[in-house]
Amino acid sequence: MNSDNYNYTPETLSSLAAKYGVSTQTFKKWIKEIEDSLGYHRKRPFTPVQIKMIFNFLGHY
C-alpha cells in the first residue's frame, strides 16, 4: 500500500498493537528506536503524523 494515499487517523498504542497482532509491550519495543522522533506521550493517542512515521518504519499492518 502506498503510504501517500493512506488516510491516517489517530490511534492508541493498544489499537495499533492489536492491528499488528502483537502485545502492547512488544509494540513499544518495536517503536523504541523512533520514540524520540515521534514525540510520543504514553497517555495520548498517536496523531496521524505519528501513525505515518510508524508505518514508514514498520510497514503497514
| pLDDT per position as a tens digit, 30-51 | 999 999 899 877 789 999 999 9
The secondary structure element, H or E, covering residue 15 is: helix 13-20
- Cβ distance 10 to 51 under 8 Å? yes
| Mean pLDDT calculated for residue range 17-33 | 96
Say which residue the cell 500500500 belongs to.
1
What's the count of helices (H) and strands (E) in the chain, helices before strands?
4, 0
**pTM of the full predicted structure?**
0.82
Q: What is the pLDDT of residue 33?
A: 92
Q: What is the pLDDT of residue 10?
A: 94
Q: How far apart are CA 27 and CA 51, in angstroms?
A: 13
Q: How far apart are CA 59 and CA 43, in angstroms?
A: 24
